[in-house]
């Protein structure tokens, strides 16, 4: 692998992801390549719907690995993210094993002897069998490695970030009763964030920082082409051009790639061959998610279509 020229390796990443229907820009491919080479997680930031989560899925599909996803939310804690003891099972087993315990301890004369004998059995009830692995621990236990997606890390609490640090830098977790569990094969870790709050420096330092913005027109056309194959080239150009015009407006929520793809699907469904004012106005609610945004954009529709058509001639 090291013998391979980096630029060809990066192109290989690009085409590999493209085969999974994910058209990656050069930066994205470089990040994926580097994260594999120097074994670092990638922290992906960017507006909603530019394909942050999709990237993890594509990597998993391309490498043929399992994807384990941890969706973050406020109040997410160790027990839900890392591991939990199976309390019910522990209780049940103590009940069932009561007689057995009686036998074992039967020979003991004094309380001290009983305790000593009990110690010989070790921590039976705090062994691996009673651990319920949650996504993070699961990811470390995959023998063939996996893609671990920690989605929307900015939604979790600040304490949870600190919990992640050990896993991100050393690919291991420490369970007080069991000791340290290291990854069999280091997983590829992808963290996504919508920049809802600033992440801690310690977390950022452990990751490659990748920012995915809105794609350039050409790239977006290729994305639409790969995702919505039924769309004609002229329409594709027009609609992507139109969306780029829309993004120049000052809106509450700008349409992102996922909206572009949805819109392309809608246009194909409606069997539209060319954009016109009517059809755009009717389907604007696919692109814009706020009433105020739709109101702001509606008067501009005609000019934007004209502009998109004009750029078509030259592009």
Partner 1 sequence: MRENLHRFFRAARGAGVHVSPAESIDAMRAVSQVGFSDRTVLRDALLLTLAKSQDEKLALGDCFDLFFSQPEPRQDQPGTDDDASQEADPSPSSEAASEGGEGHPSEGLGPLAQMLLSQDRNALAAAIASASGAASLSDIRYSTQRGIFSSRILDAMGLQRLRDELDELTATNPALAERLRTALDALREAVRDTVAQGLALYAREETENLRNEILRNAPLARIERRHVAEMRALIRRIAQRLRERYSKPRKRQRRGHLDVRRTLRRNAAWGGIPFLTAWKRKHRDRPKIVAICDVSGSVAQVSDFFLLLIHSLHEVVDDVRSFAFSSHTIEVSEILEKKSPEEAMAEIMSKVGFGSSDYGSSLVDFEKDFMSTLTPQTTVIVLGDARSNNLDPRADILRRISERSKRLVWLNPEGRLAWGFGDSEMPRYATFCSVVRQCATAQQLERAVSDIVATYQ
Binding footprint of partner 1 on the chain (CB under 8 A): 5-7, 10, 26-27, 30-31, 33-34, 37-38, 40, 45, 157-159, 197-198, 201, 204-205, 208-211
Q: How many CA atoms lie within 13 A of 225 on its CB side?
A: 14
Of 66 and 211, CB closest to partner 1:
211
| Least separation in angstroms between CB 116 and partner 1 | 27
Query: At closest approach, how far in Å is the CB of 86 from partner 1?
Result: 16
Closest CA to 48 of 221, 258, 224: 258
CB-nearer residue toward partner 1: 203 or 228: 203
* Three-class SS of 58-120: HHHHHHCCEEEEEECCCCCCHHHHCEEECHHHHHHHHHHCHHHHHHHHHCCCCHHHHHHHHHH
Collapsing DSSP to helix, strand or coil, 55 comes out as helix
Residue 252's H or E segment, with its range, is none
The least distance separating partner 1 from the CB of residue 266, rounded to whole angstroms, comes to: 31
Nearer to partner 1, 150 or 264 (CB): 150
At its nearest, how many Å lie between partner 1 and the CB of residue 236? 27
Question: Which C-beta is closer to partner 1: that of 36 or that of 226?
Answer: 36
What minimum distance in Å lies between the beta carbon of 26 and partner 1?
7
Look up tokens 């491919």; give the residue.
29
Please report how close the Cβ of residue 125 comes to partner 1 at its closest, in angstroms. 16
With respect to partner 1, which residue has the nearer C-beta, 38 or 96?
Answer: 38
In degrees, to the nearest 5, what angle opens at C-alpha 183 toward C-alphas 179 and 185?
Answer: 160
CA atoms within 13 A on the CB side of 150: 32
Residue closest to 311 by CA, chosen among 226, 222, 221: 221
Question: Which is closer to partner 1, CB of 6 or CB of 230?
Answer: 6
Beta bridge partners of 83: 133
- Of 76 and 287, CB closest to partner 1: 76
Q: How far is the CB of 88 from partner 1 (least distance, A)?
A: 12
Q: Among candidates 157, 189, 158, which has minimal Cα distance to 173?
A: 189
Q: Are 117 and 105 in contact (CB under 8 A)?
A: yes
Burial of 80 (0-12, 13-18, 19+ CB in 10 A): middle
Nearer of residues 85 and 266 to partner 1, judged by Cβ: 85
Nearest partner of 241 among 261, 218, 223, 225, judged by Cα: 218
């Amino acid at each position: 692998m090291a013998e391979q020229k980096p630029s060809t390796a990066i192109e290989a990443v690009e085409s590999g992801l493209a085969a999974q229907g994910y058209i990656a820009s050069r930066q994205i491919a470089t990040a994926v390549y580097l994260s594999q080479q120097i074994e670092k997680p990638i922290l992906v930031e960017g507006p909603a719907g530019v394909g942050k989560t999709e990237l993890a899925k594509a990597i998993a599909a391309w490498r043929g690995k399992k994807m384990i996803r941890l969706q973050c939310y406020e109040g997410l804690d160790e027990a839900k993210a890392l591991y939990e003891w199976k309390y019910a099972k522990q209780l049940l087993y103590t009940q069932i094993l009561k007689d057995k315990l009686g036998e074992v301890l039967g020979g003991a004369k004094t309380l001290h002897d009983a305790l000593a004998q009990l110690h010989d059995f070790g921590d039976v009830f705090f062994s691996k069998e009673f651990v319920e692995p949650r996504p993070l621990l699961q990811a470390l236990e995959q023998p063939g490695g996996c893609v671990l997606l920690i989605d929307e890390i900015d939604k979790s609490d600040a304490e949870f970030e600190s919990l992640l640090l050990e896993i991100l830098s050393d690919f291991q977790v420490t369970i007080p009763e069991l000791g340290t569990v290291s990854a069999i094969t280091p997983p590829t870790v992808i963290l996504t964030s919508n920049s809802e709050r600033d992440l801690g420096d310690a977390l950022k330092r452990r990751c490659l920082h990748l920012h995915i913005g809105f794609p350039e027109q050409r790239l977006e056309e290729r994305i639409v082409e790969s995702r919505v194959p039924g769309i004609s080239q002229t329409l594709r150009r027009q609609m992507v051009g139109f969306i780029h015009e829309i993004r120049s407006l000052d809106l509450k929520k700008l349409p992102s790639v996922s909206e572009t793809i949805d819109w392309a699907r809608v246009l194909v469904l409606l069997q539209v061959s060319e954009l016109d004012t009517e059809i755009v106005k009717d389907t604007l609610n696919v692109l814009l998610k706020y009433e105020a945004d739709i109101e702001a954009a509606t008067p501009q529709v005609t000019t934007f279509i004209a502009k998109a058509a004009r750029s078509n001639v030259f592009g």
